[in-house]
Structure 1
Amino acid sequence: MQINQRQLYIPIGTFDQTLFCKICNDLTIDPVECTQCENLYCKECYELSKSQNDKCPEENCNGPFQTKQPHRMIRDQLSKITYKCINHNEGCKTEMAQDNVIKHMSQCLYQQITCKCGQKFQRRNLESHKNLCQFHKTQNCFICQQQLTLEDLKSHKCLFELQKMVIQFQEKFQDYKEQSNFSILEMKNQQNQRTTEINLSKQQILALLEENKQLKNELQMKQKMCQENQEKINQAKVQIENQQKQQQQYQQQQQQQYQQQQQQQQQQQQQQQQQQQQQQQQQQQQQQQQQQQQQQQQQQNQPITKGELVDSIQTFCEKNHKLKFWKKPCGEEKKKICSNCLKQNTTCRYFCQQCKIFMCFKCYYPELKMEKQPTQPQCPALHYLLQITDNFRCSVCDKKGEDMIQPIAFQCTYCDFRICKQCIKNKKFQEIQ
């Protein structure tokens, strides 16, 4: 039977009539206050009344039906009122504030729920019912070992499923083969291109060497001519002093040209060295990219060898696939590469089984369940965390306790998971709703 949401609010005690709604005559829920007469109304009652008639229900109020937030003193009085659960006759002893009534209704262990099989029972008996219900109890197929519910096992066709799996494996193998052939062809093209570039560089070097040889021959010839001229000048030194000065100037100009040529050659050599260094850097970058691709392929082929993968509660990858949380990785999480930030030696504790990729805690914060009672938070696998004060390293910020001002953390020994108090204070987690 459908329960009216208003029936969920059962206040404890007696209250001033000024706190009651003037429409439903009950204690106000999500209260609003009329701007004219200052009477209180439930927000739901106000919206329903305003949609039918834009006039305050109070007879002495003549202005338009507009509301505002109630005075702080009114809000304080309402916040101190406690409510009991609608299932208190069934045994629920929980008392709560007005804001927690709806949330408690979805979690109350004494609330009656209906299973797929049609049977009705209290939520606290759900686990014992699952062990008997054909819609929840599972059994492995004797042929393909696939885990199915008893209801699904009735219509399970093992041979058809095996054929379907074989076809899927064949399609994946064909895709991998095509990708490998394409990568090999692309590498061959790159190698041919580099060979062509090297041959062109060799031809340029040979041309420069030949040009250098010609310049040397010309220089030797000019030096020989200078010597001959010097001999003539020595023979007629007195007669041609002016010619000797001109000849000296001519020699200085030639020396400057020679120095300029040498500087040009040095600049060309430096440019060649820079080009070679750039080629080496490009080769190193390509090798690093190939190594990263190989590591990512190894991660995809063998996701984990230690620990256990369990479903997360509300964390999804970019393709909206639900992620797996890695329990007890035993240090292997530092060997994985985060597909989001592409960093190594980081804490990769989330894995997407469909995309075959790992994500670190700095890109995807861990899930924690924070409750008022008990005060202990719960880890991503919903184990209660124990407080520790020494000899620890935070799984989120990767800091040691000895390096912290306040070395306090919460630990789950079942999952090998720790989070420091500073990360919780800085909201470096996803709160499980």
Structure 2
Amino acid sequence: MKFYRLSLVVLTLALALFLSAAFSAPPAAPANPPQEVLTVWGWDDFLPDAFAEYQKAHPEITLNYTVVEKSEMLQRFKLALALNQPLPDICILESETLDGIDGSELFLDLEEAPYSLPRDQVLEFRLAQFENAQGHLWAVPATLSASGIAYNRAIAQAFLQTEDPVQVGIVFSSWADVISKGLKFRKQFPEKAMFASLEDAAVMLFGQSRTPYLQNNTLLQPYRFLNAFQILDALQEAGLALSYQQYSPQWMNSLETDQVFFYPCSLWLMSMGIFHTGQSWGFTRAPSGSYAWGGTVWAIPKTSRHAEAAWNFIQAVLLSPSGAAYAKNHGTGTLISYSPAYAEEGYQDLIMEDFAGQNIGKMYFDQIFPEVQTRPAGENEALLKEVYLQTVRTMMGTPEMNGEEAYALFLQKLRQRLPDYQEESA
């Protein structure tokens, strides 16, 4: 463990040399007026901590930061719109909860002057979701959304006689592998499970689509959902998933035991410290490939009275070498969407003690990020996912429900929410 800590120190010092720009560098735009106040709503300490560093060189700007629970952010945002109340100067939005938000109408075009966002400096495969009618970005992706899977190393060693991330990924390279090898796993370890929740497998299956689900009010390739529910049914039938609701206290507590083999895992989830449990974790490719899950973007409302100051701050934190270095060294560390940083030697390396000193960045960019493709924007995707996960939770509470029945229930629930949608014919 001392070796890993030493490696982290060396890496941090190297970053300081490679990414020598600092938050203290003078802003490209003219100085902001005295006592300018930026208002932001958020749910974690990354932005206020970054602002504290930024403010050392920009004392004329202060931050009005309101903590809003992540699960309540979208509702608060929409309520402010409905009541015609002021929006924050920087809006932090989850990539998967943009339904009903017309970004091109509400937010500034960041590729137009005076902002002139260099698009080639943004690393993310879902940029189409954040484009206006001109094909310009109205938001800057903050965190990467391509995701993999975390696994319990002790269980891997006991079951596979290896805990190597590449080998674990090979053994469970598809959902068929998970189900077939899971039967042997359950026989050998009847007190353990592959997943803490059927929802964990469900979010991976949902995010593995490379094409939109809904376009022009039409459900495209609806058999994708039938396939997903059949896989989930097979997992439940084999007893490979516990019945905990994702993020419930029971689900969280399961991370502290050697009871569960796999959890869905993203860089943003790691940065929250959720795997700081005393267990030894590994990170690898998910069965059947990478998937989109979560991720956030930052946008500036057209109504902001401090747009210039907001943009200067966004540039410093999300679009600069110093911002990339800060994100990597804040808390447990993460990697952001600023692509030029990845050209610097050592930046892709992300060593995490919770993952037994594994180089998370190497696995991410060798096997996970390359699998994702540009994904066109779909319609009502958050609503669709909500209905899908509601159906999955019904399956969890009704073990006798099979995949075909779950699929029929999903279509019924979707019709209740979107009465006029059509299904693409086979």
The normalised TM-score by structure 2 is 0.19
The normalised TM-score by structure 1 is 0.19
Q: Which has the larger radius of gyration?
A: 1
Q: Which has the higher contact order (CA 8 A, sep 6+)?
A: 2
